[in-house]
Every structure is written in structure tokens, then in C-alpha cells.
A and B are shown apart, each in its own frame.
Chain A
């Protein structure tokens, strides 16, 4: 049973298209995140949701729109894809009530924009 699962794992698309990545966690955590890892392996937080409420939005272009239908799901929709959006996107979850709770990551979704 995968704790944090993302789909798809690989996504290749043309510039200008719109795409979505889905994330689900079965750990009962109340907080979920999206991180972006660029080609230099730098991991940067994009968004955080706590119980379906947006908590963190790290100056991400508004072409990126997260959606959390319930606390077990956090999806990422990207409009008008650009070359610079190519990266690995990691979903993660943690238990906010547990002070300094560690992140549990999904396997990542590698997005390639041509």
C-alpha cells in the first residue's frame, strides 16, 4: 500500500498545453504539499494545504492552481505550460499536529515540456 501516491509518474507535453498531476495520501495526515525539484535537484516548496485550506503559496505563477477536494487529496493543475516548468513535482504529506512532523513524499511526477 503506497502511503503517498502521485499520478502520472511521467508527463511529456507541448508548450502551451494544460496538465494536471494528482496526489493522494492514505496516512490520515492533515497537511499536504507540492514541491518542485529542478534539474539541479533544488527542492522548493510551492504550496501547502491543511484540511483543504491553502496555507502556503510561495509566489508561484498563477498558472499553477492547486486543488484539495478533501484532506487526503491535493491535485496540481498547470495552465499554459512553459519550458521552465519542466521538473519533477513531488507531493508530500505530514501531520501538522505532530510538532515538526517529517514529510512523507510521493515518488514524484517528472514533467517534460517540449
Chain B
């Protein structure tokens, strides 16, 4: 069965610090997809990134970067030079190989506070 663990329930850092959000997943499939979503205080869910299991290249998008390591079943998310606007709940999610009953399972989220 698929499972996503975000061990950090809540993190607080001071603005401009770097912060890494951890995500560990479990799956029996060899083909799967990993995602990160952001939920700011306004409540909407914003898609950040999708990564398939065959692509272990790290990705960087501005101040955001993602480190995918199959050996440790982790897909960690780093925010560099954090800003107050990064304050949100961040969800890691997993989808196994596309089937008709494909579903995306979410971790419990990490609440990130960026302090001015």
C-alpha cells in the first residue's frame, strides 16, 4: 500500500534562512509519481512540482529545489532564502502507476512559519 510520511508537523524559521521539508514515501510499484503542493493561509491548494520515479534529477525553480532519492525513498523540498510569503502548509503526495483507480495520497503536511 502507498504511504507518505511528513515527519515534521511544524517548522519555524527566521526570514532569509534556508529550510528543508522532508518527505518519505512507501510504494510497491516501480512506476510512481511524487508531488508537492502548497496551501497558503488563504486555503487554496497550489501545485508546485511533479516528479516521476524514473527521473531522479534534482530540480530547481527559483528559490525552490527538490531532492529525489530513490535509495532512501525520499523527496525533500528546500526553500532557499525563505520569505514570509512562503508561510503555508506544504503537502507531499504520491500516485502509483496510472491505473483506472489511480489516486493521489497526501502526507499529513508540514506547517511552515517564516518569521520576519
Query: Do chains A and B interact in one complex?
Result: yes
Give the residues from 35 to 56 in chain B that come closer than 8 angstroms, CB to CB, to chain A: 35, 37, 39, 43-45, 47, 50, 52
- Chain A residues with Cβ under 8 A from B50's Cβ? 100, 102
> Chain B: how many interface residues by the 8 Å CB criterion?
27
Interface mask (B98-116 → A, CB under 8 Å = 1, otherwise 0):
1011111110110100000
Residue picked from B43, B97, B98, B104, most chain A C-beta under 10 Å = B104
A55 touching B109 in the complex, CB below 8 Å, given contacts A41-B89, A100-B52, A103-B47: no
- Chain B residues with Cβ under 8 A from A42's Cβ? 106, 108-109
Q: Does any Cβ of B come within 8 Å of A64's Cβ?
A: no
Complex A-B: 20 CB contacts under 8 Å = A40-B108, A42-B108, A42-B109, A48-B101, A55-B101, A56-B101, A88-B43, A92-B45, A99-B31, A99-B33, A99-B52, A99-B97, A100-B102, A102-B50, A103-B104, A104-B47, A105-B45, A108-B43, A108-B44, A108-B45
* Chain B residues within CB distance 8 Å of chain A: 31-33, 35, 37, 39, 43-45, 47, 50, 52, 89, 91, 95, 97-98, 100-106, 108-109, 111
